[in-house]
């Protein structure tokens, strides 16, 4: 359980680091962009002053510095309009505006847009006959500043992508490690069970010859065969057995028969099975284990007293198996968490039962298993969806 907690903590740390980097990057970038915007504003004020000096110049004015300032603007788009809004001249405007059939109207609209965004400086001209006259220098941010404004969001996207890849790699590595542990544990368990089961089988044959009329021997034989099926289940974990068309009702009847003998009389198991076979592609030994696990969890949730209701239904594509209990219920926030490795509400156990059941249903049977509904203090219903198989068994 601690290992899974550490994995979750690493995920949270990665997300937190990504948020810190993203927020820090946006703050710093916005600060720098604000400085550059002010710098461009100052440059345009100097440029406007140069234009004012050009308009007020006479034959004795040295124009070298003025022209150098005016001609030095190679990046900031500028449109000069008169007080009527008519375009007088432009600089650093995209070529598409100049070759358009109605480029003057386009420039006029663009100048109005610049002015509405606050990019305008007014230059008063000498009055003629007492009539006020002026021109407006309308400007926009330079292309470099626009690119810099976009850059933090590109950087944010790269950081998010990096974190997603890191989390995916972490989960993949963790899952691969879990698979190795589960497969190794399952194979070793099957191997270790093989020897005592063989010995028990041999001793059972001896007992049958010595006490042929003993009524307990058939029950012992059933338990030994069950041990063989359990070992077979564990041996199949990690391999890729091929599902075969099986009667779901028949498989579940075996599970119900076993559970009724191994549970208290206070646990009532009811079934709603159709009379005709319902066929699905199954690995019967593994699917039996899934059904048994759901029933055992239900018994634990009911503290050994209550009702387990098992229902089987079908449509054109799927077979549906529902296991409903009258236990403690599951909070809605834990509907997905119950299938995660290490999640358990019991004082004993590793919390791997439902996680392994999910793998068996989804990876081996290409189906789904999920909490259909649950209410605290009332009970829980698990649903399994299995693709239908051929009608030939």
Instruction: Give the residue, 51 or 371, on which the prediction is more confident.
Output: 371
Q: Which of 106, 140, 174 is the last residue in one of the domains?
A: 140
Residue given tokens 């926030």 in the structure block: 333
Asked if residues 326 and 270 have their Cβ atoms less than 8 Å apart, the reply is no
Rounded to whole angstroms, the Cα distance separating 257 from 198 reads: 25
Residue 293 has pLDDT above 70, yes or no: yes
Q: What is the pLDDT of residue 79?
A: 86
Q: Give me the helices (H) in the chain, please.
A: 2-55, 64-71, 95-99, 103-116, 143-210, 217-236, 248-262, 284-301, 353-359
Strands 120-128, 244-247: pairing kind: unpaired
- Of 391, 57, 64, 364, nearest to 238 by C-alpha is 364
Q: What is the pLDDT of residue 393?
A: 46
pLDDT class of 197 with cuts at 50, 70, 90: confident
Share of the chain above pLDDT 90, in %: 19
DSSP 3-state assignment of 91?
Answer: strand
Within-domain flag for 263: yes
**Total domain count, the chain:** 2
Q: Which of 140, 155, 184 is the last residue in one of the domains?
A: 140
Average pLDDT over residues 354-361: 87
Q: What is the pLDDT of residue 359?
A: 85
Strands 87-91, 318-325: pairing kind: unpaired
Same domain, 116 and 247: no
Within-domain flag for 177: no
Residues 6+ apart with CB under 8 A from 371: 330, 335, 338, 380, 381, 382, 383
DSSP 3-state assignment of 247?
Answer: strand
pLDDT in tens, 238-283: 666 678 899 999 999 999 998 998 888 899 999 999 989 999 999 8
Q: Any idea of the CA torsion for 362, 325, 376, 355, to the nearest 10 degrees?
A: -20
DSSP 3-state assignment of 384?
Answer: strand
Q: What is the pLDDT of residue 97?
A: 53
Rounded to whole angstroms, the Cα distance separating 312 from 321 reads: 5
Residue 364 has pLDDT above 90, yes or no: no
Six-digit token pair at 182?
A: 């589960």
Same domain, 133 and 260: no
Q: Which of 121, 140, 159 is the last residue in one of the domains?
A: 140
Instruction: Give the residue, 393 or 158, on which the prediction is more confident.
Output: 158
Q: What is the pLDDT of residue 185?
A: 66
Asked if residues 40 and 145 have their Cβ atoms less than 8 Å apart, the reply is yes
Same domain, 245 and 357: yes
Same domain, 133 and 246: no
Domain membership of residue 350 as a residue range: 241-387
CATH at 322: 3.30.565.10
Share of the chain above pLDDT 70, in %: 81
Considering the entire predicted model, what is its pTM? 0.49
**Cα atoms in the Cβ-side hemisphere of radius 13 Å centred on 197:** 17
Instruction: Give the residue, 72 or 182, on which the prediction is more confident.
Output: 72
Q: What is the pLDDT of residue 272?
A: 93
Least confident of 7-21, 140-154, 288-302, 321-335: 7-21
């Amino acid at each position: 359980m601690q290992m899974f907690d550490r994995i979750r903590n690493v995920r949270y740390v990665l997300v937190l680091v990504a948020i810190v980097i993203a927020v820090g990057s946006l703050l710093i970038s916005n600060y720098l962009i604000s400085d550059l915007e002010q710098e461009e504003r100052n440059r345009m004020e100097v440029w406007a002053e140069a234009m004012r000096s050009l308009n007020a110049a006479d034959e004795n004015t040295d124009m070298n510095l003025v022209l150098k300032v005016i001609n030095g603007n190679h990046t900031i788009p500028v449109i000069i309009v008169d007080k009527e809004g008519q375009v007088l001249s432009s600089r650093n405007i995209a070529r598409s505006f100049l070759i358009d059939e109605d480029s003057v109207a386009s420039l006029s609209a663009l100048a109005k847009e610049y002015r509405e965004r606050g990019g305008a400086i007014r230059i008063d001209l000498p009055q003629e006959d007492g009539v006020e006259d002026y021109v407006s220098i309308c400007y926009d941010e330079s292309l470099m500043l626009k690119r810099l404004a976009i850059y933090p969001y590109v950087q944010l996207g790269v950081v998010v992508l990096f974190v997603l890849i890191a989390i995916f790699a972490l989960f993949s590595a963790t899952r691969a490690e879990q698979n190795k542990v589960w497969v190794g544990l399952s194979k070793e368990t099957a191997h270790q069970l093989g020897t005592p089961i063989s010995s028990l089988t041999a001793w059972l044959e001896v007992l049958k010859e010595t006490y042929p009329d003993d009524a307990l021997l058939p029950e012992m034989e059933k338990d030994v065969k069950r041990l063989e099926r359990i070992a077979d289940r564990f041996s199949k974990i990690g391999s890729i057995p091929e599902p075969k068309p099986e009667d779901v009702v028949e498989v579940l009847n075996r599970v119900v028969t076993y559970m009724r003998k191994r549970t208290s009389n206070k646990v009532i198991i009811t079934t709603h099975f159709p009379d005709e076979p319902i066929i699905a592609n199954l690995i019967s030994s593994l699917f039996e284990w899934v059904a048994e696990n759901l029933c055992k969890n239900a018994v634990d949730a009911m503290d050994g007293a209550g009702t387990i209701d098992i229902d089987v239904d079908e449509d054109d594509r799927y077979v549906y198996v529902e296991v409903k209990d009258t236990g403690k219920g599951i909070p809605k926030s834990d509907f997905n968490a119950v299938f995660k490795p290490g999640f358990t509400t019991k004082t004993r156990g590793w919390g791997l039962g439902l996680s392994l059941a999910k793998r068996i249903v989804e990876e081996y049977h290409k189906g789904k298993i999920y909490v259909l509904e649950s209410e605290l203090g009332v009970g829980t219903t698990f649903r399994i969806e299995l693709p239908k198989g051929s009608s030939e068994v």
